[in-house]
Amino acid sequence: MTTNEKPTVLIVGAGLGGLLLGVLLEKSGVPYTIFERAATVKPLGSALAVGPTLLPVFQQIGIYDDIVAAGKYLTHTTGYKESLEVMKATDYRPVKEFTGYGNYIIARPAFYDIMLRQVPAHKIHFGHRVLNISEEDGKVTVHLSNNQTYEGDIIVGADGAYSAVRQRMYEQLRAKNLLPKEDQEDLPFSCTCLVGQTKVLDPEEFPIVKEVHCQFRAFLGEDKPYTWGFMTTASGTLTWSVIHHLNETTSKAAMEQRFMNNDNAEWGNHAAAAMCDETRDFPLQLDDGKKRTMGDLYDLTNKDYISKVMLEDKVFTTWHHGRYVLMGDGAVTAMHDAIALANLLYAMPTATSSDITRIFEEYQEERYPAVMVSYKNSQLMGKRLDKGITGAIFLFLLTHLPMWLWRIVLSKTVQHRPQIGFLEAVPYMGTVAPTVSPSEQKARAAFEKQQPAASV
């Protein structure tokens, strides 16, 4: 910070975004506490791709080697029709040329464990549900389910699409007639997703796990609104997912089912088991000469670690108010939010209300356009499932894209490579220059301004 006054930050939600924000605040000396409503963290989820848009930051905070060791290098993804006819193998090798980094597929539980180890245990509280949030005398106070309260200067909602922080913030705005109409509408979603990870597989029975590079295979339903697939991991498992793409009728039915459940973001074991039953005959190609289906993967997965979740489909327009600020829900999006927010919190001159408002405005101004690009790209990719001429044209273009054009598309996806302005910079590599990150520049300027004073 440019003064001795540092805001105390209360982070609600210990997902990947909340954890990374905690790690970065730990590095910057900004005091913080993380609250997570779950009592324990189950090894849930499939896998995520970690590449040049995050790896420079992981170098800065000292976990790059851990990430690479836990990941499996990705060179191609392969798409199949339901008949197991290969549609296209997409080449991601140019990413290394463009940036100096590759893409790694890492099982989400393994990635989470690495992140969790970076946060001192006494600064993260599990089993703490936020019941209420109040503001008084320039402070914000969270009231927890165990009757404890914590006071801070800023509260960060890193608790997902159904954020308790967002709900409290929006209640305040609604009472003042300041909440835009689009932010008052129900949160829509267009997909439900079944995810899991098998036990460690015998490489003699499943030779695909012995492949040096990650085998990422996606399958497109021909007469059903589903896509499914799997990825091999460095630990000899398969992470897998099945996505049910909903239409208006099925979306409404799923919405009604959601409200019958206590947890808005996830259905219970019964719903996951039912979706397993519905989809277990979906075919797979595992290169072992056997007729394989998703059911084989379900049978190799601990049932307690199979989950059915919703994939929400909305970008809110209101990200902050007073001492409240929100982060995104997607893994990479949320971590990029954390990077920008940490840079701005470090560079903030004081913890006054006016400075807090200013950095929140800068945070949204920087992050909102990037989030909208990601959202629109996701919607565009969904068109491959459209029935009729639109879906057919899109799928044809997707599977017949020439390499020169794919390189242009791919180069644009790796331009956003932010770093932490208050940590030693990692030299930029590759042939594609990163876009300018205003929050990084601001933090770097504040950091460099303090160096002469620090050396006296």
Render pLDDT for 328-377 as a digit per residue (tens, 0 to 9): 887 899 999 999 999 999 999 888 999 999 999 999 999 999 888 887 77
Tens of pLDDT, residue by residue over 48-64, are 999 999 999 999 999 99
Neighbours of 8 (CB within 10 A): 18
CB 445 within 8 A of CB 347: yes
Q: Is residue 207 part of a domain?
A: yes
Same domain, 306 and 197: yes
Query: Counting Cβ atoms within 10 Å, is residue 265 exposed (0-12), middle (13-18) or buried (19+)?
Result: middle
From CA 252, how far away is CA 246, in angstroms rounded? 9
47-50 and 103-107 strand pairing:
antiparallel
Structure tokens at 185: 């509408």
Q: Is residue 291 part of a domain?
A: yes
Please report the pLDDT score of residue 62 as a whole number: 97
Range of the domain at 274: 189-312
Q: Tabulate helix, strand, coil % of the chain (nearest 5).
A: 40, 20, 35
Same domain, 155 and 269: no
Dihedral over Cα of 117, 121, 124, 128: its sign: positive
* Of 108, 118, 105, the residue nearest 19 (C-alpha): 118
Please report the pLDDT score of residue 262 as a whole number: 44
Q: Is residue 66 part of a domain?
A: no
Q: Is residue 326 part of a domain?
A: yes
* pTM listed for this prediction: 0.92
Tens of pLDDT, residue by residue over 206-250, are 999 999 999 999 999 988 999 999 999 999 999 999 999 887 655
CB 375 within 8 A of CB 365: no
From CA 409, how far away is CA 292, in angstroms rounded? 34
Same domain, 125 and 151: yes
Structure tokens at 306: 């199979």
Same domain, 143 and 19: yes
Same domain, 427 and 302: no
Q: Is residue 19 part of a domain?
A: yes
Helical axes 353-382 vs 438-455, angle rounded to 10°: 140
Cα distances from 443 to residues 59, 277, 339, 361, 425, in angstroms, run: 18, 51, 11, 16, 12
Cα distances from 121 to residues 7, 22, 47, 118, 125, in angstroms, run: 21, 11, 25, 9, 8
Same domain, 326 and 355: yes
Q: Is residue 16 part of a domain?
A: yes
Answer with the one of 266, 287, 312 that is the final residue of a domain: 312
CB 342 within 8 A of CB 308: no
Q: Is residue 116 part of a domain?
A: yes
Same domain, 287 and 345: no
Answer with the one of 295, 312, 329 that is the final residue of a domain: 312
Please report the pLDDT score of residue 208 as a whole number: 98
Same domain, 159 and 22: yes
For the chain, 456 residues long, give each residue's pLDDT as a single digit of tens. 444 478 999 999 999 999 999 999 999 999 999 999 988 777 678 899 999 999 999 999 999 999 999 999 999 999 999 999 998 899 999 999 999 999 999 999 999 999 999 999 999 999 988 999 998 888 999 999 999 999 999 999 999 888 899 999 999 999 999 999 999 887 777 889 999 999 999 999 999 999 999 999 999 998 899 999 999 999 999 999 999 988 765 554 555 454 444 444 455 678 899 999 999 999 999 999 999 999 999 999 999 889 998 877 788 999 999 999 999 887 899 999 999 999 999 999 888 999 999 999 999 999 999 888 887 776 665 555 555 555 566 666 667 789 999 999 999 999 999 999 999 999 999 999 999 999 999 999 999 988 765 544
Same domain, 408 and 340: yes
